[in-house]
Amino acid sequence: MVSVGPFPMSVLLVPIAVAIGSFAGWRVAVHLEAGSLSSIASAIVDMLLVGLVAARVAFVIAWLPEYAADPWSVLRIGDGGFSALAGVPAALLYGLWRTRNSSRIRWPLATAAVVGLATWAALAGALTLLQQSTLKLPATELVALGGETTSLSTMAGKPVVVNLWATWCPPCRREMPVLARAQSGREDVQFAFVNQGEDEARVQAYLRSESLPLRNVLLDPFSSVLREAGSQGLPTTLFFDAKGRLVDVHMGELSDATLASKLRRFGSSPSVTHAPEEANQVIRPDLPARILMPAILLLAASS
């Protein structure tokens, strides 16, 4: 499952983690008579906002050449470009600053932060494992431009990026040049542009009007791949390794920076001269521990 309605699953995990963390912090506050649920929740939300801003700024700096080519894309936060390893410490430091004159609330707030982060890490890891175990490179029969039938499973052997799109979808149209540039620059990765529910004439007219030299444009007249992916929104982009296993998924518009950060798992491109250590990756086995460590240290410091 990629989404619930129009909302990506990865986004929905955040309010769930905030709610659970706030409740845990409130229970500690009640025990210590150190604050109310509203005060804990307000502090957690403020920490979340600070963390998101820091995570976005860090990601933009890490991929500055890509954003410099299209400065307005910095404001399109729907591209998912956030650095958790920068955002989490920033949020925790803000929490320490906020409680500098009220040490009694520091313990409940630290508890809320640890529980919230642990919840997010556990749910994100479980979601990633679920997606990777249930989504394989689809064998659904598709139609190539020209009329011949084919399937995505024939592309196994190289990493494959599958973009689900439609001509009526504004974010699909905006990200198409980004994907076209990546296809022309990454011969080691196969790209498939699977149109959802439209006929060949409409797709051909769009490609001509936009002068897009795309390869592997396929038609999925019944939106079968979209349903198989468990997504209810466009655009949706699926990333498969050379063995046809799902390794990443993105729902929403991609920017040059976020696409480059995701393609990095398939090896470096000659056009990419920098390689940030962490940039919008799916949960790696060591990532939850690396993110939770600052929270654990904060909890120890507050006692």
173: containing domain = 137-244
List strand residue ranges (DSSP E) for 49-201, in order.
Answer: 141-144, 149-151, 160-165, 190-196
How far, in whole angstroms, is CA 111 from its chain's centroid? 26
Residue 17 lies in a domain: yes
Say if residue 217 is in the same domain as residue 295. Answer: no
- Looking at the structure of the chain, the number of domains it has is 2
Residue 278 lies in a domain: no
Say if residue 37 is in the same domain as residue 96. Answer: yes
Whether the predicted pLDDT of 99 surpasses 80: yes
Left (φ > 0), alpha (ψ -120 to 50) or beta: where does 268 sit?
A: beta
Say if residue 160 is in the same domain as residue 99. Answer: no
- Residue 204 pLDDT: 96
Whether the predicted pLDDT of 279 surpasses 50: no
If you average pLDDT over residues 258-264, what whole number do you get?
94
Residue 106 lies in a domain: yes
Is the bond preceding residue 235 a cis peptide, omega within 30 degrees? Answer: yes
- Residue 272 pLDDT: 46
Least confident of 42-46, 47-51, 176-180, 207-211: 42-46
When pLDDT is cut at 50, 70 and 90, the band that residue 53 belongs to is very high
Q: Note if the pTM is more than 0.85.
A: no
- Residue 183 pLDDT: 96
Say if residue 165 is in the same domain as residue 114. Answer: no
If you average pLDDT over residues 108-117, what whole number do you get?
90
Average pLDDT, the chain: 86
Whether the predicted pLDDT of 299 surpasses 90: no
Residue 263 lies in a domain: no
Say if residue 123 is in the same domain as residue 22. Answer: yes
When pLDDT is cut at 50, 70 and 90, the band that residue 283 belongs to is very low
- Residue 240 pLDDT: 95
Q: Which amino acid is at 257?
A: A
CATH number of the domain encompassing residue 204 = 3.40.30.10
When pLDDT is cut at 50, 70 and 90, the band that residue 278 belongs to is very low
Residue 271 lies in a domain: no
